[in-house]
Structure formats: structure tokens, C-alpha cells
Chains A and B, each alone.
Chain A
């Protein structure tokens, strides 16, 4: 059972790589998941036996093992999300730097005598 869940999680993470540009909906979703994760963390600290029960439910022997598996999945999602956002940021940075470069060059060109216009 746990294998199915983990596999599904990895596939979903891979699928999310293909998704479109980040939107307000995506951000809200990420925030909700983060909040839920924190809530789950609090619960598992206060009621460790509960974690073991849930673990047994999905076919995992120990509660700590389940937490480990969830952690690995969470790490995967977070890493890929950060990579995507970083790449998007870099692209925007390039566009911005290019605008600066072109604007400066056009301005220089405009102030040159006519023969030099490239």
C-alpha cells in the first residue's frame, strides 16, 4: 500500500514539472500544504501512537519509517519547486539585464553622428 502511495507521489512530483507558469492558485496550494504539514507535525509530536497506527494502516512497520518516507517525498517536491522558481527567476533576470543593455546602447547610438548608426 505504501509503495503505491510513494510511487504516486513521485509521479505527481514529476508531473508537476510540466505544469504552467506559477499562479496565485499554485501559491495558495503550496501554502495550504505547508500549513497542513505543520499541523500534521504538531499532531505526530503530541500523539506518537497515532503515527504508528497510520503507518500500520498503509503497511509500514514503524511510525518513524512513515515519517521518513513522507520526508523524502516532501523533499522531492520542495527541491523541484525551488528549481523551477529559480529558473524562472533567472530567465526574468536575463530579460531585465538585456533591456538595460539595449536601452543604453540605443541611447548611445542616438547621440552619435549619423555615419556610425549600426
Chain B
């Protein structure tokens, strides 16, 4: 088996990617500096992101059609798990909002703290960098999560997570759109996985703000979650 020679050999970083040509080379390079095993899941990009990510050193898994961020993450997780020496899977955004330093600390937390999942939170220590409108929506998301899953979190919609192998195997994302964040939390609650929140700093740039989902999308997320509850479990 390959030996990357570092202490993060058993960590795979999954970056769901859709049309991030301008930032993905930098993002991939900065992640690979610490975590060489980086997978970009190209969700049907049309701007050449896939080639750029590959040139920057990431392994690229290409969806033949655009399926949604949830589907991209699930694909990345399955690819990571296909290697038996993978112990941790990290979900990391492609737009440059997340910090690699936070990932390092979260992975250490997962190792040392013996938890299945480490969830990034903007609100454990302040959260002043979060735009006010967003903060309101996120607070609603927290309340919603508390009611529906029982999980008491401070940030229920953060894309930065560390899953150990057990968590990655257990969680199955079926909702392909943005509702995956809530679906992952539901999965944690239902399977009794151990979890912990960890403070992270999100960098809001004009680019990432422009790319971010519009607030009204919470309607779609709620609808997806409710509809999923009604649909029978599929084999």
C-alpha cells in the first residue's frame, strides 16, 4: 500500500465541486499541502474545474450530469471508503471558505477524542464574521435541528466535517440537493454516532458570498426533508 509518509495518511478530504475554476487550484493546493489524499467530486462543471483540480493534484471523480452537492459528497465518501486504509473522511467546501488549519485541529480532535463525527461550528466562539441575514437563517436551522433530531448544536449547516470510517459507512446521503446537511445530522442522531462540535473560522469573500446559496433555498430544503420522511425506505 502507498505510504505518503505523513501522519495524515489515513485521511481523505472530499471536496464537492461545481464550477469553481477560479479558486479550485488554490484550494486544492492548500489542502494537499497537509492532506495529500484529496478527492474533488466534479458535479458536472462546465468551466473546466475538473481539469484544473486534477492539475493541482487532486483525484477527480466526475459526475456525468449535475446531481447536487449532497450527491457529490456521497460519491466522494464512497470513493474514499473503497480504500481500506482510509480512517477519516473530511468534507470541505470548494469555494475557499474553509481553513485547512481548522481541519487539522478537527482531525486531531476526532483521533484523540474518540468521536465518530466532528462538526465545524461558526458559533462556538462568536461568529461575528457571519452576515446578519445568514445568521438569522442559521439560528432557525439550529432550532429546527434540535426539534427534529434532538441534536443540540450551535451550527446546523456547516460544510466542514470530519467523519471516522464508522460514521462514513453509516451515513448514507439520499437527498442530492442542499438538504444533505440536515440529512447527515439526522443520520448521526438515528445511528447514535458520537459527535462533537469544534470552532472553525469561515472566510466570507465576495466570491464565496456570490456563490452561496440564496436564503430562499431553505424552502426547498424543508420540502425535501419532509418529503423524504414520507417516502418509504428504499432497499
- Which residue numbers of A lie inside 8 Å of B, CB to CB? 17-21, 84, 87-88, 90-91, 94, 97-98, 100-102, 104-106, 109, 114-118
Cβ-closest 5 pairs across A and B: A118-B59, A105-B61, A20-B232, A17-B230, A98-B75
Query: A97 vs B64: C-alpha distance in the bound complex, in angstroms?
Result: 6
Please indicate the chain B residues that have their CB under 8 angstroms from the CB of A109 in the complex.
59
- Chain B residues, CB < 8 A from A106: 79, 82
Asked whether A97 lies within 8 Å of B230 as measured between CB atoms, the reply is: no
B78 touches A118 (CB 8 A): no
Contacts of B231 in A (CB 8 A): 17, 84, 87-88
Q: How far apart sit A118 and B78, CA to CA, in the bound complex (Å)?
A: 13
Contact between B2 and A114 (Cβ–Cβ < 8 Å)? yes
Contact of B234 among A91, A102, A116, A118 (CB under 8 A): A91
Given A87-B231, A98-B71, A117-B64 contact (CB < 8 Å):
no
Q: Does B29 contact A (CB under 8 A)?
A: no
A residues near B41, Cβ cutoff 8 Å: 101
The answer to whether A101 touches B62, judged by C-beta atoms less than 8 angstroms apart, is yes
What is the chain B residue whose CB lies nearest that of A112? B59
Within 8 Å CB of A117, what residues of B?
2, 83
Report yes or no: B174 in contact with A102, Cβ–Cβ below 8 A: no
Give residues 31-64 of B contacting A (CB, 8 Å). 37-39, 41, 59-64
- A94 near B71 with CB under 8 A, answer yes
A116 to B63 Cα, complex, angstroms: 21
User: Which B residues lie within 8 Å of A88 (CB)?
Assistant: 231, 234
* A20, B230: Cα distance in complex, Å: 10
**Does chain A have a CB within 8 A of B219?**
no
The CA-CA distance from A21 to B59 in the complex, in Å, is 36
A-B contact pairs, 18 of them (CB 8 A): A18-B230, A18-B232, A84-B231, A88-B231, A91-B234, A94-B176, A97-B63, A97-B67, A98-B71, A101-B75, A102-B75, A104-B61, A104-B62, A105-B62, A114-B2, A115-B2, A117-B2, A118-B38
- Chain A residue numbers with a CB within 8 Å of B79 are 102, 105-106, 118
Q: In the docked arrangement, what's the CA distance between A100 and B176, Å?
A: 16
Kindly identify which residue among B37, B230, B234 contacts A21, using a CB–CB cutoff of 8 Å: B234
Give Cα A19–Cα B233 distance, bound, in whole angstroms.
10
A94 to B73, CA, bound (A): 12
Is B216's beta carbon under 8 Å from chain A?
no
A17 smallest CB distance to B (angstroms): 5
Of the candidates B2, B61, B232, the one whose C-beta lies within 8 Å of that of A102 is B61
B147 contacts the other chain (CB 8 A): no
Q: Does B12 contact A (CB under 8 A)?
A: yes
| Chain A residue nearest to B86 in the complex (CB) | A118
**Contacts of A84 on B, CB cut-off 8 Å?**
231
Complex CA–CA separation, A88 to B64 (angstroms): 19
Chain B residues lying within 8 Å of A102, measured Cβ to Cβ, are 61, 75, 78-79, 82
Chain A: minimal CB distance from B98 (Å): 20
Q: For B37, list chain A residues within 8 Å (CB).
A: 118
